């Protein structure tokens, strides 16, 4: 399905009133339904984040096109998670951080202006490093975002199934959707969290070390699911696992102390890193 | 280890143990005394009849009814106010806000104010100021609300128990992992939705506990209602908000200090205290039960 039609669908689902009058992404639906979708979903321009103890990000430029997985690697403290949290303005939750620069979601600036955060976060979905199922059933977890976004109840079942299938967990849970989500195994929980985000049919998917606590089989399942998903999505995958980046991504950006050191197609970056620091990191000499 | 150290160790063990023993013994004596003397007069008749012949006969039903009515009105007033305060402080206010700091300080100080001061405040503020004001404006100066009444007593009691509710609600909110809120936000929930769908359902046990603790505190306090609405003796039950009422704690106080025949009142006094204690303990016990159940559920949820 065409991506813009899909999004238009979401807005219709949302029904009247669920979207604030000042639509944050004014886009004439007639025009966008016919025009080809722009290849770059997310463009990050000079993104800078200042914290209490200095700069966490020091001017990042990056692009995340649809149909690709962009991996962000780097040692702890490189600013990877903060970077991710800027892209759906989750960074707003920490009042100590000052964000400057710009992030554009299909051309629309997101930073430094009032944006409908609820709608933004539906369009830019996020999966956290630790699976955190909400204290409800599997079904309710996946339908949570739908309910919050005002998608009518009768559409939930179909969207929940679609999302659980996309996250490669449908077969494991289809007979026990009323089970408390915390009863699932860690790997299942994380796929449930992925499904929960996908149920909103986002345009961009942000993954913050989604496999850090998982066994290799669960990891493989998630990576496999991502390969299918990226057709319709721009995926940004922050990972501590260099191997995962080399396996699962199309492009890789290497962050170090809040700076983007290198950003190239994954194959090239891993075979012939241009910067010596990149070479040191991917060969495991530090970090 | 030499002999000296061993003796000191033994001494301290016995001393601390003895301190505990004293407390247990005291409680046992108090409760035992009340239970033994109180049971004599206790009967259904006693629970469901009005006092007769100058408190030397009959039952305590108006006092039980008055206590229940007072506590219900107080809860209606204190829960919304306390929960809203705690929710604002923990969920809405910016971190390290001056306002929150001030409110927290005020709540802590409120908890330290002696109950009798609340009583005087209730008399001065609710009755003299608010009540008289209502009378002047709505009733042309006729005395309707400008006098001791169950409404004013309940509001005074609500102020007294407000810190309990605020603190326990805040604790309940703090016990909810921040991650739940983040997840809900990341799924496009608004602040209100996060509160309504994730935070409050999880906090409801803690809020309930606070409410029950407030009730059990309120049910046992006499000073705040002495000037604001409790009556020495009322043959009828309170039916309107501006009626006076009888209350168990106040009834005990009255029977002890104002009875024409102290000896004749004694058995009734014991039984009244027993009922009051049983009521308070039952409420406390319920609170503990709910809290432990919530804790278990939270632990299982991790």
Q: What gap in Å lies between CA A141 and CA A160, rounded to an integer?
A: 9
Q: What gap in Å lies between CA A271 and CA A264, rounded to an integer?
A: 11
B209-225 confidence digits (pLDDT tens): 888 888 888 888 899 99
For residue B193, what pLDDT band results from cuts at 50, 70 and 90? very high
Cβ(B131)–Cβ(B124) below 8 Å: no
Q: What gap in Å lies between CA B127 and CA A48, rounded to an integer?
A: 59
Predicted local distance difference test score (pLDDT) of residue B233? 82
Predicted confidence (pLDDT) at residue A2 exceeds the cutoff of 50: no
Q: What average pLDDT does range B243-254 have in this prediction? A: 89
Ordered domains of chain B (ranges, CATH): 42-301 (1.10.3720.10)
Predicted local distance difference test score (pLDDT) of residue B12? 92
Q: What average pLDDT does range B42-67 have in this prediction? A: 81
Nearest chain B residue to A147, by CA:
B189
Q: Percent of chain A, pLDDT > 70?
A: 85
Cβ(B252)–Cβ(B272) below 8 Å: yes
B251-296 confidence digits (pLDDT tens): 888 888 877 777 878 888 899 999 998 888 888 888 788 878 877 7
Predicted confidence (pLDDT) at residue B84 exceeds the cutoff of 90: yes
For residue A20, what pLDDT band results from cuts at 50, 70 and 90? very low
Whether A111 and chain B come into contact, CB under 8 Å, resolves to no
Nearest chain A residue to B298, by CA:
A135
Predicted local distance difference test score (pLDDT) of residue A76? 86
Q: What gap in Å lies between CA A158 and CA A150, rounded to an integer?
A: 15
Q: Which stretches does DSSP call E strand in chain B? A: 51-52, 57-58
Q: Give the nearest partner residue to A118 out of B177, B188, B202, using CB atoms.
A: B188
Predicted local distance difference test score (pLDDT) of residue B159? 93
The minimum CA-CA distance between B207 and chain A, rounded to whole Å, is 18
- On chain A, the residues whose CB falls within 8 A of the CB of B188 are 118-119, 121-122, 145, 148-149, 200
* Architecture (CATH level 2) of domain A3-282: 3-Layer(aba) Sandwich (3.40)
Dihedral pair phi/psi, residue B176, rounded to 5°: -85, 125
Predicted local distance difference test score (pLDDT) of residue B217? 86
Q: Give the nearest partner residue to A196 out of B95, B182, B187, using CB atoms.
A: B187
Find which of B91, B94, B186, B191 to mutate to test the A interface (most A CBs within 10 Å of its CB): B186
Predicted confidence (pLDDT) at residue A57 exceeds the cutoff of 80: yes
Closest CA to A138 of A185, A186, A196, A187: A196
Predicted local distance difference test score (pLDDT) of residue A71? 93
- On chain B, the residues whose CB falls within 8 A of the CB of A147 are 197
For residue A286, what pLDDT band results from cuts at 50, 70 and 90? low
Contact between B187 and A121 using a beta-carbon 8 Å cutoff: yes
For residue B39, what pLDDT band results from cuts at 50, 70 and 90? confident
B14-35 confidence digits (pLDDT tens): 999 999 999 999 999 999 999 9
Contact between A135 and B180 using a beta-carbon 8 Å cutoff: yes
- On chain A, the residues whose CB falls within 8 A of the CB of B197 are 144, 147-148
Q: What gap in Å lies between CA B199 and CA B184, rounded to an integer?
A: 10
Q: What gap in Å lies between CA A61 and CA A197, rounded to an integer?
A: 26
Q: What gap in Å lies between CA B215 and CA B287, rounded to an integer?
A: 10
Predicted local distance difference test score (pLDDT) of residue A31? 44
Predicted local distance difference test score (pLDDT) of residue B218? 85
Predicted local distance difference test score (pLDDT) of residue B201? 87
């Amino acid at each position: 399905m065409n991506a813009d039609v899909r999004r238009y669908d979401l807005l219709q689902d949302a029904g009247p009133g669920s979207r604030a009058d000042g639509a944050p992404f004014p886009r004439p639906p007639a025009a966008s339904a016919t025009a080809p979708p722009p290849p770059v979903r997310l463009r990050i321009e000079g993104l800078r984040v200042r914290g209490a103890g200095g700069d966490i990000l020091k001017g990042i430029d990056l692009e995340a096109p649809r149909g690709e997985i962009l991996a962000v690697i780097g040692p702890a403290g490189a600013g990877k998670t903060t970077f991710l949290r800027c892209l759906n303005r989750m960074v707003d939750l920490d009042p100590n951080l000052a964000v400057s620069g710009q992030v554009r979601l299909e051309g629309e600036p997101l930073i430094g202006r009032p944006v409908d955060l609820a709608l933004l976060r539906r369009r830019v979905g996020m999966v956290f490093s630790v699976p955190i199922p909400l204290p409800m059933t599997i079904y309710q977890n996946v339908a949570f975002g739908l309910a919050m976004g005002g998608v009518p109840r009768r559409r939930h079942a179909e969207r929940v199934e679609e999302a659980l299938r996309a996250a490669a967990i449908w077969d494991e849970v289809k007979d026990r959707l009323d089970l408390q989500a915390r009863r699932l195994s860690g790997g299942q929980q994380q796929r449930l969290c992925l499904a929960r985000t996908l149920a909103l049919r986002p345009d961009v998917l942000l993954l913050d070390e989604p496999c850090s606590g998982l066994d290799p089989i669960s990891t493989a399942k998630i990576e496999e699911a991502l390969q299918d998903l990226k057709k319709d999505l721009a995926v940004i995958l922050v990972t501590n696992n260099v191997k995962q980046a080399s396996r699962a991504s199309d492009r890789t950006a290497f962050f170090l102390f809040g700076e983007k050191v290198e950003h190239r197609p994954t194959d090239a970056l891993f075979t012939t890193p241009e910067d010596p620091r990149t070479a040191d990191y991917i060969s495991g000499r530090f970090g | 280890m030499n002999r000296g150290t061993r003796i000191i160790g033994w001494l301290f063990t016995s001393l601390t143990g003895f301190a505990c023993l004293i407390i247990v013994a005291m409680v046992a004596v108090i409760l035992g005394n009340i239970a033994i003397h109180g049971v004599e007069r206790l009967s259904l008749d006693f629970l469901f009849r009005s006092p007769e012949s100058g408190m030397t006969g009959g039952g305590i039903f108006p006092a039980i009814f008055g206590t229940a009515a007072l506590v219900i009105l107080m809860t209606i007033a204190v829960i919304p106010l306390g929960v809203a305060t705690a929710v604002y402080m923990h969920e809405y206010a910016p971190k390290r806000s001056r306002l929150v700091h001030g409110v927290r300080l005020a709540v802590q100080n409120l908890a330290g104010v002696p109950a009798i001061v609340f009583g005087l405040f209730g008399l001065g503020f609710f009755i003299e100021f608010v009540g008289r004001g209502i009378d002047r404006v709505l009733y042309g100066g006729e005395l309707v609300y400008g006098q001791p009444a169950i409404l004013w007593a309940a509001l005074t009691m609500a102020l007294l128990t407000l810190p309990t509710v605020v603190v326990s609600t805040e604790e309940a909110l703090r016990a909810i992992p921040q991650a739940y809120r983040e997840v809900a936000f990341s799924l496009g929930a608004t602040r209100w939705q996060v509160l309504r769908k994730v935070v409050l359902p999880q906090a409801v046990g803690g809020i309930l506990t606070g409410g029950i603790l407030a009730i059990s505190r309120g049910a046992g306090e006499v000073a705040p209602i002495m000037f604001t609405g409790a009556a020495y003796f009322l043959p009828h039950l309170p039916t309107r908000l501006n009626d006076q009422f009888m209350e168990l704690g106040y009834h005990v106080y009255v029977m002890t200090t104002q009875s024409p025949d102290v000896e004749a009142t004694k058995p009734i006094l014991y039984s009244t205290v027993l009922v009051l204690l049983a009521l308070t303990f039952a409420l406390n016990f319920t609170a503990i039960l709910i809290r432990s159940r919530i804790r278990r559920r939270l632990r299982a949820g991790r």
